């Protein structure tokens, strides 16, 4: 019979149902997002590592500690970079002096 060769209704209904579910999830997520935001009530919101957090008034000791730690780490990084520069200069100077000494004596080391 002709209806036995005709595809079942699910071939047409399944994609429609899937699209309806996706649309429903989209609108539910959108409704959830349009609700209460922590910044509206004056609460702190951590937006990521590059955005400073806003702490309540009782957190000034932590802010002072954080600022001091960041300043100290910055100084240590600068000192370390300066040390690496001096180390590279000393290594280059030693290699150059070794090269000049070998050149003066006429012997060269195999490379």
User: What pLDDT, on a 0 to 100 scale, did the predictor assign at position 85?
Assistant: 95
Mean pLDDT of the chain, nearest integer: 78
pLDDT exceeds 90 at position 38? no
Tokens for 22?
A: 């996706």
Q: What is the pLDDT of residues 62-81, one digit of tens each?
A: 888 989 999 999 999 999 99
User: What pLDDT, on a 0 to 100 scale, did the predictor assign at position 62?
Assistant: 83
d(CA 111, CA 109): 6
d(CA 4, CA 10): 14
User: What pLDDT, on a 0 to 100 scale, did the predictor assign at position 44?
Assistant: 52
Q: Is 65 helix (H, G, I), strand (E, B) or coil?
A: helix
Hey, where are the domains in the chain?
A: 74-104
Query: On the CB side of 25, how many CA atoms lie within 13 Å of its CA?
Result: 6
Model confidence pTM above 0.95? no
Q: Which long-range contacts (CB under 8 A, 24 or more apart) does 13-22 make?
A: none
């Amino acid at each position: 019979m002709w209806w036995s060769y005709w595809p079942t209704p699910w071939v047409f209904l399944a994609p429609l149902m899937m699209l309806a579910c996706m649309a429903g999830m989209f609108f539910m997520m959108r409704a959830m997002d349009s609700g209460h935001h922590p910044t509206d009530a004056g609460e702190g919101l951590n937006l990521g590592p590059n955005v400073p957090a806003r702490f309540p008034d009782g957190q000034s000791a932590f802010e002072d500690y954080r600022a001091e730690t960041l300043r100290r780490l910055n100084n240590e990084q600068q000192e370390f970079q300066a040390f690496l520069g001096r180390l590279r200069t000393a290594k280059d100077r030693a290699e150059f002096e070794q090269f000049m000494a070998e050149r003066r004596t006429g012997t060269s080391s195999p490379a």
